[in-house]
Structure 1
């Protein structure tokens, strides 16, 4: 038996070796593709595997250089656990010198804004000379220093995606063109002179399709223009830290827009053209600090801003909406236009916006899916659900699915669910997600007593 056991174990080793051989037999291009899913630090670490792997990372058409990762690896180099005194700039320069891939598909650089401009410019020029397609620059703002961009970026013919984040000064030339740029992300950067720098950058992107624009309020700019005929996807996030910064204005002219997202403190957003191609809109309005001290007419002013924005989004088929708290008090008759295309509504609910949901249901005659997500709040109910007058045309006759998340079994919540069951003739599924497992039994008991119009509706409590 012992001899047989040894024989069996001996037979296992060739199988293991063959598995290693099969992996080693992969082509360089396939191995480089696998390495492209790693950071450059991780890809370089594979060079110890064998002689073949020693320089394989230099052929990977992707470079991901992060100051934190580089310092971590340097501290582990040297004898007696003593770190070698090599700067981050030396490491990046060395990596670029050894990298011999004929082109760079993706180049990501994350460093401090006090990085020597000469090195920074050289690295970017090297990537551009290798026909870079995707360029991401994430600069940590430090010591009051902003990083300027080399002019060569604005003339790169191969650039398809550009992301600028952090301590970067944007000051594009008066005349330039990025003929292939389709994706642009500007995340809390700085503008050297005024917001015309922003508009000038967009004017040099003739095929731009995807724009993400985030602002933190420290730039003190109040007016922005987005005029891009080819734009299909627009994401805006504004997070001012001073009350007066909510007076900003964004003028948007993007007739081809298919997806729109806004998150933050709402200023004046003006859509200059009808969005006939709009498919999905995601609006999350955050109440700004100090809003509790506003006068009644000021609250109505902010409510009017919400109203104007929603009026411009009436062509959307999918709508995710959180209309804020304070801003909702300014709502009167808020929807002059119907959401005729709306088939899916995801509504973030709080005590102040029940009436906003009620009014929205009134103007969405083709709604098929309704999701109500109750946000966590501590305040007592200020406004509650009020069943509308007996009107058979009020609730969409197409509603087939209803989901209520964060259900606590409060009176107004039960009344709302009761109304849906009573009016939704074609409802197929109703899912109630309770806020805690202890509530499940009592909620099931309450809902089982409610009358329902649809005989095929399946009610589930989770």
Structure 2
């Protein structure tokens, strides 16, 4: 007996999903056992270049037919000919369904031109990758049940982007190409991840129920630190950075917050306007040697109820504005921002076993008044000083000494 044919239908259909639809269809000729399996394959992969008359293929008709049959989940990838148009124009009927719950569009589809004709009242999850959308407000207005929205490499016009939805709970953004403003009117939002360059302005940021946020801002390092006041481009960049506080003002109710190295650098441009994060319990920052900590003192002072601080990498770019949060530069008032911070748990990741890191750890132990526990995780992906036996022994001795001198429990993990 054929061992493959004896497998259950679910497993056979999973195997067929790795083939093109044409190849999967040919298996129906093998035997009666295979005749109807194609109808249960979860994916259709159609390459019109292998068709006898590819110019007669009607992708729009296939999609409309699927929607008419009451499909719940549609994952659509259209790969365009590199010599053809930049964006594929799907007709309005491809965006009309009373049953569709999840929709993923990938491959350069133009959605903006049909925004006013969309009818997807049950849609809860929408993922858009490499598409063009010029009418966000009209699009989201047609999706009253939408709860999760993911946007990757989306191009919009220069009139500004307004993401407005009363039902949206999860929003993920990776690079929206918009040279103008970016607004968020999402009062029910719980999770927000934003990766991209700074917008010109953030006129509206309504996220009053936000619980978890991850902000990863991209920037040109030198222009962030020393913009040329006589260069129009640098003036524009400086203006953008000075408006970032409006974005964070809308995030001030967040409970858990993650900031990338670039975000910390951008925040240094608007420290005077830093909002108070009155609900923030957990703050995680990532640091590297190219980015500074200029914003850290103000940030820590503006988190009156912070309990957990996670630092991924202690090394950072040292400037005369590092402030008192670190021990890089001798200051009379060093540690002042730490003494007002109520953090109880400090987690340090990417520890490499350098003396500079040990000095920073001692600084935290001395000036964090409420610190009860410090967990230090050794860097696992790259070589560290701890691989040298003498260094490892010295570090362990210092850790033991820190535990004796402080009421905080210090563990190297």
TM-score tier after normalising by the smaller chain length: 0.7 to 0.9
The partner residue of 2:173 within 236, 244, 258 is: 236
Task: Select 2:79's aligned residue among 140, 150, 156.
Answer: 140
Alignment of 1:332-347 (within 5 A): 332-337=271-276, 339-347=277-285
Matches within 5 A, 1:309-458: 309-322=247-260, 324=262, 327-337=266-276, 339-350=277-288, 351-374=290-313, 381-382=318-319, 384=322, 386-387=324-325, 388-390=334-336, 394-397=340-343, 399-407=344-352, 409=354, 411=356, 413-422=357-366, 423=368, 425-434=370-379, 436-439=383-386, 441=392, 442-450=394-402, 455=407, 457-458=409-410
Aligned ranges 1:54-453 → 2 under 5 Å: 54-60=34-40, 62-65=42-45, 67=47, 87-89=49-51, 116=55, 119-141=58-80, 142-145=82-85, 146-170=87-111, 171-172=113-114, 174-191=116-133, 195-196=134-135, 198-215=136-153, 221-238=158-175, 240=177, 247-268=179-200, 270=202, 272=204, 274-288=206-220, 291=223, 294-295=227-228, 300-322=238-260, 324=262, 327-337=266-276, 339-350=277-288, 351-374=290-313, 381-382=318-319, 384=322, 386-387=324-325, 388-390=334-336, 394-397=340-343, 399-407=344-352, 409=354, 411=356, 413-422=357-366, 423=368, 425-434=370-379, 436-439=383-386, 441=392, 442-450=394-402
Residues 38/287 of structure 1: CA separation in 2 closer, same or farther (3 Å cut): farther
Residues 390 and 184 of structure 1, relative CA distance in 2, 3 Å threshold: closer
- How many residues are aligned here? 383
Aligned equivalent of 2:31, options 26, 48, 51: 51
Report which of the two structures shows the higher radius of gyration computed on alpha carbons: 1
Partner Cα distance (1:36, 1:328) in 2? 48
Counterparts in 2 of 1:150 and 1:390: CA distance versus 1, 3 Å: closer
Distance in 1, matches of 2:29 and 2:369, equals 64
Residue 300 of structure 1 contacts residue 327 of structure 1 at CA under 8 Å; is this kept in 2?
A: no
Q: Is the 8 A contact 2:257 2:280 kept in 1?
A: yes
Map Cα deviations across residues 170-223 of structure 1 (whole Å, 9 max, x no partner).
Answer: 2215344211111112222124xxx22x32221111111111123365x65341
The Cα of 1:447 is off from its aligned counterpart by 4.2
Distance 1:117 1:301 in 2: 52
Is 2:116–2:139's contact at 8 Å kept on the other side of the alignment? no
Bigger Cα displacement from structure 2, 368-377 vs 117-126: 368-377
Corresponding residue for residue 328 of structure 2? none
Shift of 1:253: 0.9
| CA distance 1:53–1:428, change in 2 (3 Å) | farther
Q: How far apart are the structure 1 equivalents of 2:115 and 2:125?
A: 19
C-alpha contact 1:329 1:352 (8 A) present in aligned 2: no
- The Cα shift of 1:261 comes to 0.8
> What root-mean-square deviation, in Å, do the aligned CA atoms of Structure 1 and Structure 2 show?
3.7
TM-score between the two structures when normalised by the length of structure 1: 0.71
Alpha-carbon deviation of 1:52? 4.9
**1:214 to 1:87, Cα distance in 2 relative to 1, 3 A:** closer
Give deviations 1:401-427, integer Å, cap 9, x for gaps. 42232546263x444322322225342
User: Is it true that 1:35 corresponds to 2:13 in the alignment?
Assistant: yes
Q: Which string of whole-angstrom CA distances, capped at 9 and with x for unpartnered residues, describes residues 106-141 of structure 1? A: xxxxxxxxx758521122122112222222222234
Q: Is the 8 A contact 1:32 1:59 kept in 2?
A: no
Query: Would the aligned equivalents of 1:89 and 1:119 in 2 still touch at CA under 8 Å?
Result: no
User: TM-score, normalization: structure 2?
Assistant: 0.78
Secondary structure of 1:386's aligned partner: coil
**Contact 1:385–1:416, Cα closer than 8 Å, also in 2:** no
CA–CA distance in structure 2, aligned partners of residues 220 and 273 of structure 1: 20
Mapped partners of 1:90, 1:53: distance in 2: 28
Partner of 1:107: none
Counterpart Cα distance in 2 of 1:343 and 1:147: 45
Structure 2 residue ranges without an equivalent (≥5): 230-234, 326-333
Paired with 2:197 and 2:176, the residues of 1 have a C-alpha distance of 6
